[in-house]
Amino acid sequence: MQIRGNRWFIGLLLLLFLHHPGAFGQQEQKVVSLGEAIRLAQEQSLDAMVAKSQLRAAYWQYRNYKADLLPNVKLMGTLPSFNRTLSSYLKEDGTYKYVSSNSISEQLSLSVTQNIPLTGGQLSLQSQLERVDQLDGERATEYMSVPFNVVLSQPLITANPLKWSMKIEPEKYKEAQQQFAVSMENVAIQAISYYFDLLLAMINVNIDKQNLASSEKLMQIAQGKRERGLISDNDLLQLKLNYLNASSSLIQTEQAYDQKMFALRNYLGYNDQVVIVPDIPGECPEIEVTFKHVMELASRNNPFRYDVVCRMLQAQQQVAQAKANRGFQADVYASIGYTGSDRDFKHTYRNLRNRESVSLGISIPILNWGKGRGQVELARSQEEITRVQMEKETLNFEQEVLTAVKQYQEQNRLNEIVRLADTVAQKRYKTAYETFVLGQISVLDLNTAQTEQDNARRTYISQLYSSWVYFYTLRKLTLYDFEKKEDIIYEQEKY
């Protein structure tokens, strides 16, 4: 990036700052550019780590949803189960008798289960083997097998949560991926903020050092003039006051510099032995943007679009669930297969008999005082609230995009003004300083020129900061690289 305007002057301040004796002690000096600071922040900052963890969590949530669509194979068993108890037994004459049971049993089953997204039911293939060893009496061993069994569990009236998940979960994962990119752009904006805070603090320190040296020199010149009666005591005292104020200001700016250094160093992941020296960044890229173009990019790339879809689908799911739960409920359970038993393990799988089971469960609310209807109306109200909120947030999002575009457009014009003001203020102070030495202007005029020069310099850096923030705000809203003319896609970890 090219350096424009009077950045040579700021570069001179940077050079003086780097070579100031004893400025950093034994600490390591490291010149860091703005681009490098952004890169380090996106790799090492805690904010970046949080964003990566959030994306990782979203990925595994999506993987869990995908697993629900695939067959689930499960092996279960009890190896072994020891049982020694007394149980009541009802005899034919109506009396009870207690009989003892002393046995060891082992049971093993293998099942393959598949959810049915279309109906919300579940289909399962099962195989089971059980062995019982009697420890009392005859001391026999019995085997019971279920070589093959098909089980269907199907609710007849359901909101089918899995079907809704097929609509919602892919959108949520897309939102998480785009939100990760937004978080990385936010990290960049935060890094820019810390970077320019430190840069401005460094500039302030050098300004105050320069002002202190100038105040001391001017005070010495004024003392000589006062001895010759060329200036008044009031002007001399004013120069002494300027010197004291410059000394006080330097102490405060050095304290602020230490604080800004700590903030940036901590954000980039450096230890306290590293002294970061910010390089003077160039002007941010100048691009032609219009609200229409930026809005199109934002509507296409920003995670807000996926958030709208997800929240509306979730609201609609709640309505469907409330309707399914308010009235008649019915569930069908059907099982068909084969089973066999014998004292010989091999014979257990011979002479198999049919194994069938069918059941229909129903639930009919007789009197619930309108609770079911109330739940449906509540869900509908929540859906309407969500819809209105989405409309409001959509308008706010469009306003945010419009504001970002205007800020960037106006900032480009403002940069030209402050760059020119910085040049003029420096020339004016130089002229005022030379004129004061010749005794042609007062101390107040010199103070005004110095103040304007310092403010112009600080304003230039502040506006440079604003231009970079506005540029990256456009990137964040659109997830679009305006320099490369392509969408912003951050490389994601392989989990």
Q: What is the C-alpha to C-alpha distance for residues 145 and 148, in angstroms, rounded to an integer?
A: 9
pLDDT for position 441: 66
Q: What is the C-alpha to C-alpha distance for residues 405 and 473, in angstroms, rounded to an integer?
A: 9
Contact 278, 474 (CB under 8 A): no
The better pLDDT of the pair 444, 10 is held by 444
pLDDT for position 3: 39
Confidence of residue 204 (pLDDT cuts 50, 70, 90): confident
Q: Is the pLDDT of residue 5 over 50?
A: no
Confidence of residue 230 (pLDDT cuts 50, 70, 90): low
Give the pLDDT confidence of 43-92 residue by residue, as tens digits: 999 999 999 999 999 999 999 999 999 999 999 998 888 888 887 878 77
Residue 464 identity: L
What is the longest distance spanned by two Cα atoms in the chain?
139
Give the pLDDT confidence of 259-272 residue by residue, as tens digits: 999 999 999 988 88
Q: What is the C-alpha to C-alpha distance for residues 173 and 171, in angstroms, rounded to an integer?
A: 5
Confidence of residue 116 (pLDDT cuts 50, 70, 90): very high
Burial of residue 123 (CB within 10 Å: 0-12, 13-18, 19+) is middle
Q: Is the pLDDT of residue 380 over 90?
A: yes
pTM of the model: 0.80
pLDDT for position 472: 95
pLDDT for position 26: 65
Q: Is the pLDDT of residue 10 over 70?
A: no
Confidence of residue 443 (pLDDT cuts 50, 70, 90): low
Residue 2 identity: Q
pLDDT for position 210: 80
Three-state SS string over 229-296 comes to CCCCHHHHHHHHHHHHHHHHHHHHHHHHHHHHHHHHHHHHCCCCCEEEEECCCCCCCCCCCCHHHHHH
Residue 5 corresponds to which tokens in the numbers above?
A: 């305007």
Q: What is the C-alpha to C-alpha distance for residues 380 and 377, in angstroms, rounded to an integer?
A: 5
Residue 112 identity: V
Q: What is the C-alpha to C-alpha distance for residues 314 and 31, in angstroms, rounded to an integer?
A: 50
| 418-424 own/partner pairs: CB under 8 Å, 24+ apart | 418/456, 418/459, 418/460, 418/463, 419/4, 419/5, 419/6, 419/460, 420/5, 421/456, 421/459, 421/460, 422/5, 422/6, 422/456, 422/457, 422/459, 422/460, 423/5, 423/6, 424/456
Confidence of residue 124 (pLDDT cuts 50, 70, 90): very high
Q: Is the pLDDT of residue 2 over 50?
A: no
**Alpha-carbon torsion angle 408, 51, 39, 31, nearest 10:** 100
Give the pLDDT confidence of 231-243 residue by residue, as tens digits: 677 777 777 887 8
Confidence of residue 442 (pLDDT cuts 50, 70, 90): low
* Dihedral (CA of 10, 15, 16, 20) sign: positive
Q: What is the C-alpha to C-alpha distance for residues 305 and 327, in angstroms, rounded to an integer?
A: 35
Q: What is the C-alpha to C-alpha distance for residues 174 and 45, in angstroms, rounded to an integer?
A: 24
Per the document, the length of the chain is: 495
Count of beta carbons in the 10 Å neighbourhood of residue 376: 20
Give the pLDDT confidence of 323-341 residue by residue, as tens digits: 888 888 889 999 999 888 8
H-assigned helices in 69-155: none
* Dihedral (CA of 427, 430, 433, 438) sign: negative
**Arithmetic mean of pLDDT, 302-315:** 94
- Where residue 100 falls (left for φ over 0; alpha for ψ -120 to 50; beta otherwise) is beta
Q: What is the C-alpha to C-alpha distance for residues 405 and 396, in angstroms, rounded to an integer?
A: 14
Task: Give the percent of the chain with pLDDT over 90.
Answer: 45
Going along the chain from its start, the domains and CATH numbers come out as 7-61+166-310+386-487 (1.20.1600.10), 74-116+121-157+328-364 (no CATH)
Give the pLDDT confidence of 215-228 residue by residue, as tens digits: 777 777 777 766 67
The better pLDDT of the pair 4, 91 is held by 91
Q: What is the C-alpha to C-alpha distance for residues 152 and 282, in angstroms, rounded to an integer?
A: 69
Residue 487 corresponds to which tokens in the numbers above?
A: 């969408």
Helix (H, G, I), strand (E, B) or coil at 442: coil
Q: What residues are paired with 487 via a beta bridge? A: 480
Helix (H, G, I), strand (E, B) or coil at 420: helix
Q: Is the pLDDT of residue 16 over 60?
A: no
